[in-house]
Amino acid sequence: MFAEHQSSHAGTDVRIPELVRAIHASGAKACIVVTGTGTQAIAWLFAEPGASRTVLDAQVPYSSAALDEYVGGPAEQHVSATEAVRMAQAARARAGKLAALSKLDRPALLVGVGCTGAIVTDRVRRGEDRVHVAWTDGRTSKAYSLVFAKEARDRRGEEYTSSALVLNALAQACGLVARLPLNLLPGEMVIESE
């Protein structure tokens, strides 16, 4: 479905407030949907003035039933790049609908961002801790996958990295070159799919 390669960006590393302000100044309107991880990205977007210029909607459909309803049907695997893409596509469709209902004067760009993941928990997990993030503007789509080094971070650490990946995806969708550093550990790499 997607061509995969290791992601590397030629952008400049910035701090969270700087990147969020640049996103808010980009003119893009976005719907963001996250589940399992990535929730901090939503808080970061609202922590800087101008969120109303960017965020049309932000949702956290945490249960399988809620996520299935959001994307329009059950998934073969909820924590996968394919599901992140489905989430981004559903979010982009919602952005179009909300822009029309709001009678927005032709926003420069409508974007959908999806994030699904399984991070450190208080029970035994069969699979790896991982995150998948995708964005689409209706013409271009990108997905990013990261498997976390086993037992190398706590839940907050994995949440931070997942949320930074969400903001980086939104920044790319907005045409920005700035990115948050992900502070990847040895053996970790972000795999980008198109």
Look at residues 88, 126, 122, 111 and name the one whose alpha carbon lies nearest to residue 174. Answer: 111
Concatenated DSSP letters of 84-142: HHHHHHHHHHHHHHHHHHTT-S--SEEEEEEEEEE---SS--SS--EEEEEEE-SS-EE
Query: In the prediction, which pLDDT does 146 show?
Result: 97
Report which of residues 2 and 117 the model is more confident about.
117
- Structural domain spans, the chain: 4-193
pLDDT band of 127, cuts 50, 70, 90: confident
Q: 4-193: what fold?
A: Maf protein (3.90.950)
Predicted structure pTM score:
0.91
The predicted pLDDT at position 10 comes to 47
Q: Per-residue pLDDT for 2 more than 50?
A: no
Structure-token pair, residue 56 = 């049309």
DSSP code, position 13: B
149 close to 103: Cβ distance less than 8 angstroms: no
